[in-house]
A and B are shown apart, each in its own frame.
Chain A
Amino acid sequence: MERMSLLGFGACTPDAEFRARLPFPASGINRDAIPAMLRRRSSQATQIAFSAATLACAQAGCSPASLPAVFASVAGEIQTTDQLCVELCKADAMLSPAAFHNSVQNTVAGYWSIAQQCTQAATALAAGYDTFAMALLEAWCQLACHGGELLLVCYDERWPDYLAPGQGQTPFACALVLAAERLPDALLQIGRPFFDASASSASATLININPILTAMPLLTQAAAGNQSSQTRLLIGTGWQVEVYDR
């Protein structure tokens, strides 16, 4: 496979002020994207990830039930994990069974597969500041090996401020529907992510707001459409990708 195709994308952040400053369209949390059984109890991570994923599938015209999915997050269900860690400090600690099974990194992947009745493979990965880059690489490898289409969803909810001071304070999610090979109706064609140790790192400001914002150059390019024939984008700490017009 020489290239993969971007068929649709979506982004979500509940912070309206931040949203207005983004150079690509993003929505707030879309309650209709979250099944009724999850609406009250779902984490911020689930809500923003579902909102972005629903937008991406709609733009791509794909049924979520048929798509294998890659979910990626730096800190996963960190708000639930935080509550459990506080509870564990008590002498008579009692964990809620639901809070425990909702603290795993693949909580969003699990609920997405249940909500969409999707029995395709779903993975959940993490790679620190390179989470978006490694998720895009994992997507590349799945498409190169198995063909077809897949859904990539990257998200991080707001982190408790004492865990990594100054970081992870703005929840953000983005989703891409990607297909193997060059498709004529693609928004963009994307090359294989590669590492260049001499390249500079993605903007520290973006990483501190939310490491998933390393997706910003790619999302900006996807929204802008045909600008130049080939552009090299920085998507992590030395990880880059080339994008091409259709």
Chain B
Amino acid sequence: MNRTPRIAPVAITAYECVSAAGDNLNALHTALLANRSCVKPLQLFELPFETVVGEVISPLPAVRPHLQHYACRNARLALHALAQGNIRAATERALARYGAGRVGVVLGTSTSGIYETEIAYKQLLRDGAMPGDFSFLHTHTAQASAEFLWHELELRGPCYSISTACSSSAKALGAAQRLLDADVCDAVLVAGVDSLCRLTLFGFNSLQLVSPEPCRPMDSGRQGINIGEAAALLLLERPASDNAACPRLLAVGEASDAHHMSAPHPEGQGAADAMNRALQLAGRRPEQVDYINLHATASQLNDLSEANAVHRVFRHPPRCAGVKGLLGHTLGAAGAVEVTISLLALEKGFLPGNCGFQHADPQCALPIVADPDLNSPPRLILSNAFGFGGNNASVLLEAA
């Protein structure tokens, strides 16, 4: 029997996002409508080169004493997001309803608590020993902030992190959907959390990918990326009558470029495979997609590769835009952050704009939405996230 693989849609019953645009969904919505860049010079530490970043400026809450060993900027960003809107209440309601063993957490991150490790190394090199309170497995390693959320919320279901560079939290959504589809869980909290640190800023600078000014994705004058930080949380449950008004995650398509560690496939083959796979898993056709939230980092090669990929999938590409001119590139959190933006677009009925876009790049030739369009409510949105190692994920979302 030749069966086309499909996956059942899941309901997104709550979501929240903390970013450079502010502390919650209302702030994010306002910033999206204003379409003014939120990136600014870095405050957290000094940099020997010029750039602007998407930094979370508001004070972050303290981790409670009994979980102090998990305390790091990444965990505190996650905790800050957990305090917004109804995400914590919705997760606790799921716990009460399904039992702690049936609620899991999957987190996508690239940095985890490495910012604290960098500080600890200064002491290591000075004194020959790490600080007494340094806890490698509770802060540095990729699962640390997932484990923190698991303890903070007293979950007992599966707990892990996906760390595939900039596709991390888009793939976490895919893993969570499978946990529901395979009947391992009844609810999964998905988190995308990444925090500013020296490693990523110096690293992307060494690759000559960092822009000195607010980045301009898909623009002919683009000259590199801005790094950002953020925490986005989403609660996934199976569709039911009491969540019929919630937007749906239809599918996450995943594929590899098999091309290069830090450069995308020039023709965007892997990215096209991921978009096609998402459509195939959901049983939808390209012409049904109303809007693409592009990965669009504003790097020369990435944007060109993604434009080629979109043209491979769509004979007539739908309108599209990227938001990294607004928030910077939040790396491992970008997938989840941009899904929350896509969900806002579905729920509020507008198309987000491509902040920083002035002059079309004839090589990209996509129908870019420069300013938010309030008169074209979308039903189906594809949101792209592509990472180092040619690791691609594309998330397909549908309005309720």
Seen from chain A, the residues whose Cβ lies within 8 Å of a Cβ on chain B are: 1, 74-76, 81, 84-86, 88-89, 92-98, 100-107, 109-111, 113-114, 116-128, 130-131, 134, 137-138, 140-142, 144-147, 159, 162-164, 167, 192, 195, 197
Contact = CB atoms under 8 A, between A and B. Distances in A.
22 contacts: A75-B140, A84-B203, A93-B202, A95-B206, A104-B110, A104-B388, A105-B164, A106-B163, A106-B165, A107-B261, A109-B389, A109-B391, A119-B270, A121-B254, A122-B389, A128-B137, A131-B160, A145-B178, A162-B129, A163-B136, A167-B137, A195-B157
A102 B261 contact: yes
Given A95-B205, A145-B7, A192-B182, 18 more contacts: A1-B182, A88-B121, A89-B121, A92-B48, A97-B203, A98-B261, A102-B261, A107-B389, A109-B256, A111-B261, A114-B259, A114-B260, A114-B390, A123-B171, A128-B137, A145-B181, A163-B136, A195-B157
B125 A123 contact: no
Interface string B109-124: 0100010011001101
Contact of A97 (B143, B207, B259, B273): B207
Interface string B259-299: 11110000001100100010000000000000000000000
B258 A116 contact: yes
A134 B137 CA distance: 16
A113 B262 contact: no
Chain B interface bracket (under 10, 10 to 19, 20 to 34, 35 or more):
35 or more
Contacts of B391: 106, 109-110, 122, 124
A111 to B, nearest CB: 7
Given A88-B118, A126-B143, A163-B136, A117 B258 contact: yes
Contacts of A114: 258-261, 390
Nearest to A73: B142
A140 B175 CA distance: 11
B344 interface: no
B141 interface: yes
A164 B101 CA distance: 29
A106 B389 contact: yes
Contact of A118 (B143, B144, B258, B277): B258
Nearest to A68: B254
Contacts of A107: 261, 389
Contacts of A116: 258
A119 B165 contact: no
A121 B142 contact: no
Given A88-B198, A120-B255, A137 B184 contact: yes
